[in-house]
Amino acid sequence: MTKPGSRRRGQRTGRSVRDKNLITQQPWKQIEYQYQPQNVLSEDQIEAIHEASLTILEDIGVKVHEPEARRYLEQAGAKVDHASEMVYLDRGLVEEKLKLPPSEFTLHARNPARNVKVGGKHAIFASVGGPAFVSDLDKGRRQGTYAEMCDFIRLVQSLNILHQEGGGPFEAMDLPQESRHLDLHYAQATLTDKNWQPWGLGQDRARDGLEMGCIALGITREELVDKPVFTTVINTNSPLQIDIPMAEGLIEMALHGQPVIITPFTLAGAMSPITLAGALTQQNAEALSGIVLAQCVRPGTPVIYGGFTSNVDMKTGSPAFGTPEYTLAAQASGQFARRYGVPFRSSNVTSSNAVDAQAAYESQMSIWGAMTGHVNLLNQGAGWLGGGLVASFEKLIIDAEMLQMMSAYNKPLAFDDDAIALDTIREVGPSGHFFGTSHTLARYEDAFYAPMVSDWDNYENWIDRGSLGTAERANKVWKKLLSDYEQPEIDPAIDEALQDYMARRKQEIHGKTA
């Protein structure tokens, strides 16, 4: 049996000594927006797109490949043609269902101290999920192993700025394809005590995720219904389709009251109109179709409005990420989510194949689009590289740094007389210095953001220390974090129950003990 416990450190020996050398991090806390979101569309434009989306759903229709999903929609009053798999949702039905999902909910983790609020002024950051490849500076891009995947999850646990594990950073190619989701869930449930995303593709896997999540939290599947634990990304198949695995995953999660993240992948110029207004219209129609389906399965199912509109490179057809169009689409998507009173999901993305300046500026463009759009769940928040095909160990650290900066940006500012500091300005006077004042000494330890990987030193010192670039420093940071990693405590009975479940399911899948 595969057991990722080799690095486990139950005993916290020597903690106080080791602490001195720990990587600088901000403490765990959720982001709470301090400033207004950036609205890039006028209210009229929002309503125009809303109306056009309703026309799409009513007149053009959505192709729903999964029969059960069509039946749910038909029962709710949609016009359905089962032969062509087409579903037509009239305006009244859509408007009625849009009233049902909650605007905020709490997402539960194995460790209640890691529970997080989703919606409103709250934001959470998730790690990258789903890439095919892993990469680091030492060995380059490659297919990943389970041991490497566990290391990545350990880092997600170690990085305080990450609030959620994003669904498995990459595939563990040394494990059998049919059952490796079980090993992933075991790693998620034991190597981190944060919330984690399950695999949402297909009914059986969705159920395995639910079962293992419930075991980890010590609850039954029945108790799950009023306790959001699993956020599952449901991508529509643009244009205007919901495919079978996605519909199965959505239904399974909605039946258990679990939040579904409806995310159309509307690449302007390819799977949606080339105009941003057109791409957003189609994104919105598709998002609404998923939201309505979830409400038809179970009224009140929490949903998250996912925005992932970007554009293709018209020369090559490649998707582009972190472009100005992406930024605008993220901000506009936040407006739609607020229009419908549901939480908003966006992402931290880049097309860059290297952990370099482009990776950073495209990520920044997407992070700023997301944050100024008041994203509630920044999915793919840390570690994404190469258009999402790669999970990078160094990018994980650099993204965590950038997210920490956004967190620090959203720290409430002191604005009392002490903060304005007129007395200190008077005390120092013209040509004085503030280093030694009592005002400075009382605050210097945590007055400013302290970086994890940024190097602020002068050129000479930087050269003396080997003139390491950001990616090389990030390489050292993740290795240090990994060596300092301590596995979060878990009830041995729960650990055993997880192992038992995994063993049983592997036997069912493979017909033998894996």
Q: Which stretch binds a copy of itself (CB under 8 A): 158-166, 210-218, 334-342, 450-458?
A: 450-458
The length of the chain, given as a count of residues: 514
Which CB sits closer to a copy of itself, 165 or 394? 394
Backbone angles phi, psi at 412, to 5 degrees: -60, 135
Which CB sits closer to a copy of itself, 17 or 415? 415
Which CB sits closer to a copy of itself, 106 or 358? 358
State both tokens at 508. Answer: 């069912």
- Give the C-alpha separation, 91 to 94, whole Å: 5
Which CB sits closer to a copy of itself, 213 or 307? 307
Is the CA virtual torsion 450, 453, 456, 458 positive or negative? positive
Q: Least distance from C-beta 438 to a copy of itself, angstroms?
A: 11
Considering only residues 348 to 367 of the shown chain, the ones binding a copy of itself according to CB under 8 A are 351-365
Which CB sits closer to a copy of itself, 192 or 366? 366
Q: Least distance from C-beta 257 to a copy of itself, angstroms?
A: 29
Amino acid at 130: G
Which CB sits closer to a copy of itself, 126 or 268? 268
- Give the C-alpha separation, 124 to 403, whole Å: 10
Task: Name 59's Cβ contacts closer than 8 Å, sequence gap at least 6.
Answer: 88
Size of the site for a copy of itself (CB under 8 A): 122
Q: Least distance from C-beta 447 to a copy of itself, angstroms?
A: 5
| Residue from 92, 444, 504, 510 binding a copy of itself (CB under 8 A) | 444
Q: Which stretch binds a copy of itself (CB under 8 A): 5-13, 443-451, 496-504, 506-514?
A: 443-451
Q: Least distance from C-beta 460 to a copy of itself, angstroms?
A: 10
| Residue from 268, 349, 391, 514 binding a copy of itself (CB under 8 A) | 268
Partnered with residue 265 across adjacent β-strands are none
Q: Least distance from C-beta 496 to a copy of itself, angstroms?
A: 42
Q: Which stretch binds a copy of itself (CB under 8 A): 74-82, 276-284, 486-494, 495-503?
A: 276-284
Considering only residues 461 to 500 of the shown chain, the ones binding a copy of itself according to CB under 8 A are 462-463, 467, 469-471, 474
Determine how many CB atoms are found less than 10 A away from the CB of residue 152: 27
| Residue from 412, 413, 492, 513 binding a copy of itself (CB under 8 A) | 413
| Residue from 36, 222, 492, 512 binding a copy of itself (CB under 8 A) | 36
Q: How does 98-108 read in b/e, with b if 16+ C-beta sit within 10 Å?
A: bebbbeebbbb
Backbone angles phi, psi at 335, to 5 degrees: -65, -40
| Residue from 277, 494, 497, 503 binding a copy of itself (CB under 8 A) | 277
Q: Least distance from C-beta 222 to a copy of itself, angstroms?
A: 37
Is the CA virtual torsion 237, 198, 401, 155 positive or negative? negative
Considering only residues 224 to 253 of the shown chain, the ones binding a copy of itself according to CB under 8 A are 237, 239-241
Considering only residues 279 to 338 of the shown chain, the ones binding a copy of itself according to CB under 8 A are 281-282, 285, 311-314, 316-320, 323-325, 327-328
DSSP state of 122: E
Q: How does 200-227 read in b/e, with b if 16+ C-beta sit within 10 Å?
A: bbbbbbbbbbbbbbbbbbeeeeeebeeb
One DSSP character per residue, 299-326 reads TT--EEEE---EEE-TTT--EE-S-HHH
Q: Least distance from C-beta 283 to a copy of itself, angstroms?
A: 11
Sheet of strand 384-385, all strands in order from the earlier edge strand to the far edge: 140-143, 133-136, 390-392, 384-385
Residue window 145-164: x/- pattern of binding to a copy of itself, with contact defined by CB under 8 A: --------------------
Residue 156, judged by CB atoms within 10 A of its CB (0-12, 13-18, 19+), counts as: buried
State both tokens at 453. Answer: 């990987």
- Give the C-alpha separation, 481 to 397, whole Å: 10
| Residue from 103, 115, 424, 487 binding a copy of itself (CB under 8 A) | 424
The SS3 of residue 123 is strand
22 touching a copy of itself, by CB under 8 A: no
Considering only residues 51 to 110 of the shown chain, the ones binding a copy of itself according to CB under 8 A are 52, 55-56, 59-63, 86
Do 253 and 232 touch, CB atoms closer than 8 A?
yes
Q: Least distance from C-beta 336 to a copy of itself, angstroms?
A: 14
One DSSP character per residue, 323-382 reads -HHHHHHHHHHHHHHHHHT--EEEE-----SSSSHHHHHHHHHHHHHHHHTT-SEEEEEE
Which CB sits closer to a copy of itself, 1 or 441? 441
- Give the C-alpha separation, 142 to 379, whole Å: 23
| Residue from 9, 35, 91, 507 binding a copy of itself (CB under 8 A) | 35
Task: Name 244's Cβ contacts closer than 8 Å, sequence gap at least 6.
Answer: 65, 66
Which CB sits closer to a copy of itself, 160 or 440? 440
Partnered with residue 267 across adjacent β-strands are 310
Which residue's structure tokens are 């030694």?
436
Which CB sits closer to a copy of itself, 45 or 499? 45
Which CB sits closer to a copy of itself, 262 or 498? 262
Considering only residues 375 to 394 of the shown chain, the ones binding a copy of itself according to CB under 8 A are 386-387, 389-390
